[in-house]
Amino acid sequence: MSENEKLLEVKNLRTSFFTHVGEVKAVRDVSFHLDKGEILGIVGESGSGKSVTCMSVMRLLQDPGRIIGGEILYEGEDLVKKSEKEMRRIRGEKISMVFQDPMTAMNPVFTVGNQMIEVIRQHRNVNKKEAHDIAVKMLGLVGIPSPEERMKNYPHEFSGGMRQRAMIAMALSCGPDLLIADEPTTALDVTIQAQVLDLMKDLQQKTGTAIILITHDLGVIAETCRRVLVMYGGMLLESGTVEEIFHHPGNPYTLGLLRSVPNPEKSRDRLEPIPGSPPDLIRPPEGCPFCYRCKYAMNKCVKEIPPLFDLSETHQSRCWLLHPDAPATDAFEKEGK
């Protein structure tokens, strides 16, 4: 929806880790945008760069990692140019994050209430009592029963699902406009996952917070998001609405991913895995990162990185097969499920 205001715009982001072995090009020239109040999914396997992209947006990269190029425009301001002090104000207040593992994301020696109050007082000009009340209200909002009592509990007294709820409460306690959730339900059981995803959708509608949901689970994406980015080998290979990505995929990698998971609605067929394994990011292929695993790969794919081709106003794909001069293939015509 072009009439919507853009909340976040990432342009040509490049992030590398300068390790002893060499430069690991974790994010290579990634551009995307996020509208106010939308839920955007990022799907990819480990090493695809999806988490590093978001850590770059938060400016939370650990030492050998550095942003080496590009812009991260948040409401028009470039986050790459912000000082650490300025970033500290932005984190939590404007952008906050929920991590995968609710067991390690909290400090075990402080009560949940204590940790929430600390966050709130960092960003809002309130006294202890007021911060306490806000925290209780937030815990209630995310569905924790008897929040007043639960404030006094330590993280180990919470179950995994409740801890993730508390993390979401903490992340939303300063009313951010953007919530980045990095595999928020991966460590949870399916029935609890369903609860947490429902909660996130519900909160997004109530508070209007935009959400970036990082996951490797295609099912979670299909049920939660409006638009999806598909990442592989540090690059953005395809982006589009869920309808476009799941029913008219425009990239052989997306197709491969969709075919390698069993559909619980269908009967028992043989799975079609993607052969091989993800590329080495120290020496990534010169051309398309997926070229060595792609059954449609051509000479050009090995030599040159394909540009993003527009398939529709909302749908882009990085694949040489979409070039007007490419030979006709059956890749995309009949394959959309």
Partner 1 sequence: MEQNTPLLQIENLKKYFAVGKNKVVKAVDDISFSIQKGETLGLVGESGCGKSTTGRTILKLYEPTGGKILFEGRDITGLDSRQMLPYRKEMQMIFQDPYASLNSRMTVADIISEALTIHHLGSAKERSETVAELLHKVGLKREHASRYPHEFSGGQRQRIGIARALAVQPKFIVCDEPISALDVSIQAQVVNMLEDLQHEMGLTYLFIAHDLSMVKHISTRIGVMYLGRMMELADSQELYAHPQHPYTQALLSAIPVPDPRHEKSRIVLEGEVPSPLNPPFGCPFRTRCRYCTEACAQATPQLREVEKGHWVACHLIGGGTDGAQK
- How many angstroms separate the CA atoms of 240 and 32, rounded? 11
Instruction: Name residues contacting partner 1, limited to 216-245 (CB under 8 A).
Output: 216-223, 242-243
Contact residue for partner 1 among 265, 313, 325, 333 (CB under 8 A): 265
Instruction: Name residues contacting partner 1, limited to 274-333 (CB under 8 A).
Output: 274-275, 277-278
Residue 205 or 299 having the CB closest to partner 1? 205
Strands of 61-139, DSSP E: 65-74, 77-78, 95-98
In the bound complex, what is the minimum distance in angstroms from residue 224's beta carbon to partner 1? 8
Which one of 17-25, 57-65, 267-275, 319-327 is the stretch in contact with partner 1 (CB under 8 A)? 267-275
In the bound complex, what is the minimum distance in angstroms from residue 88's beta carbon to partner 1? 34
> Which CA distances in Å does 138 have to 135, 148, 162, 170?
5, 11, 13, 8
Contact residue for partner 1 among 57, 197, 235, 255 (CB under 8 A): 197
- How many angstroms separate the CA atoms of 5 and 232, rounded? 28
In the bound complex, what is the minimum distance in angstroms from residue 216's beta carbon to partner 1? 6
The answer to whether residue 20 forms part of the interface with partner 1 (CB under 8 A) is no
The answer to whether residue 256 forms part of the interface with partner 1 (CB under 8 A) is yes
The answer to whether residue 21 forms part of the interface with partner 1 (CB under 8 A) is no
Going by C-alpha positions, the residue among 75, 71, 86, 148 that lies closest to residue 112 is 148
Going by C-alpha positions, the residue among 101, 100, 43, 98 that lies closest to residue 257 is 43
Contact residue for partner 1 among 208, 262, 307, 336 (CB under 8 A): 262
Instruction: Name residues contacting partner 1, limited to 28-47 (CB under 8 A).
Output: 45-46
In the bound complex, what is the minimum distance in angstroms from residue 190's beta carbon to partner 1? 4
Strands of the chain, DSSP E: 6-18, 23-35, 39-43, 65-74, 77-78, 95-98, 178-182, 210-215, 227-232, 235-241, 308-310, 316-318
Residues in the chain: 337
77-78 and 95-98 strand pairing: unpaired
Contact residue for partner 1 among 78, 149, 198, 304 (CB under 8 A): 198
Residue type, 178: L
Say how many residues touch partner 1, by CB under 8 A: 47
Binding residues for partner 1, rule: CB under 8 A, are 45-46, 159-162, 189-195, 197-198, 216-223, 242-243, 246-247, 256-258, 260-265, 267-268, 270-275, 277-278, 337
